[in-house]
Structure 1
């Protein structure tokens, strides 16, 4: 299986589709160890178990860290661990509430650009950002609950997309940002 994944590495969408089809599960974070294994890539009651795993993983990156630590800038950009979770919350709201749900960013009270979504307000805390992330996840599950993966959604600025496409995009972004979060967390724990 490892050789097969490496052979497909040049085409990320194909790799993701292939891994989803084969029931691949990401299990390295403690928050996912007690979940029952899923064999399908997406289920009717809330989407992809892979998306759920990464949603838990991004929150797990904040565990046992203090407010000052999660706001610390460790890279040349303005990215912080807490800002990363805030961005992931924004990203999911854009894909599920704007793209699938059809509401505009203005109606949702969202900033317009990804760069703005990393910025922390003075009153942002681990608890408030985590609560906002969880609320966005609940809303996302509710928005897609009655839709098939082949449903065409029209709220994307680039044109219509299928719900399947939206899930794969969200999965790609969550996986990428979980990797960033792992690196930032590792740097914080070394200090």
Structure 2
């Protein structure tokens, strides 16, 4: 831990001279934590409230990112029985849809659990490990990690804007 810094910030600072894997893991975990921070301290109603013309909400972003984590790590990299990789635009759009049971607490817990599972799956493979992808042919774990850093950071930016529109709160830490 870097004195006075949250763990996700400290990890990025500590990885500043780390190897490629340490840097990728630290930045992905940083952006995962930022997304969760955007949900912290707001009501279920505020998290589900639409503030933009699209169906994007704070709660929907976390639900979507949970599906993204599951899709890339569990379903593509290490599928189990019944796991299948989602490929369509309809699947992506549906991943933002909320159910009545999707509270801030439940969404946060599900995202944390899926991220933990993603870390466990990724740790079993080296960065050069390649898997078949239904649209791209083949992808390496390195590519998956870079893609998840990009996807998560993009949505963390969306979440930052939505949180600012909700109560004025901004920032990553």
Aligned partner of 1:91 among 29, 44, 68: 68
* Matching residue of 1:22: none
Count matched residues: 159
- State yes or no: 1:70 paired with 2:34: no
* Matching residue of 1:133: 111
| 1:31 and 1:60 in contact (8 A); partners too | no
Deviations 1:77-118 (A, max 9, x none): 1111001010011011111112211358x5369796110000
* Matching residue of 2:22: 43
Equivalences for residues 9-24 of structure 1 within 5 A: none
SS at match of 1:161: strand
Per-residue deviation, 1:33: 3.6
Task: With the length of structure 1 as denominator, give the TM-score of the two structures.
Answer: 0.75
SS at match of 1:94: helix
- State yes or no: 1:107 paired with 2:83: yes
Per-residue deviation, 1:144: 1.5
Return the alpha-carbon distance in structure 1 between the equivalents of residues 97 and 86 of structure 2: 12
- State yes or no: 1:144 paired with 2:122: yes
Q: Greater relative contact order (Cα 8 A, min sep 6): structure 1 or 2?
A: 2
From the two aligned structures, give the one with the greater helix fraction. Answer: 2
Return the alpha-carbon distance in structure 2 between the equivalents of residues 171 and 147 of structure 1: 18
RMSD of the alignment, in Å?
2.6
Per-residue deviation, 1:153: 1.6
Per-residue deviation, 1:146: 2.1
* Matching residue of 1:5: none
Long gaps (5+) in structure 2: none
Per-residue deviation, 1:43: 3.1
Residues 1:109 and 1:157: Cα distance change in structure 2 (over 3 Å): closer
* Matching residue of 2:8: 32
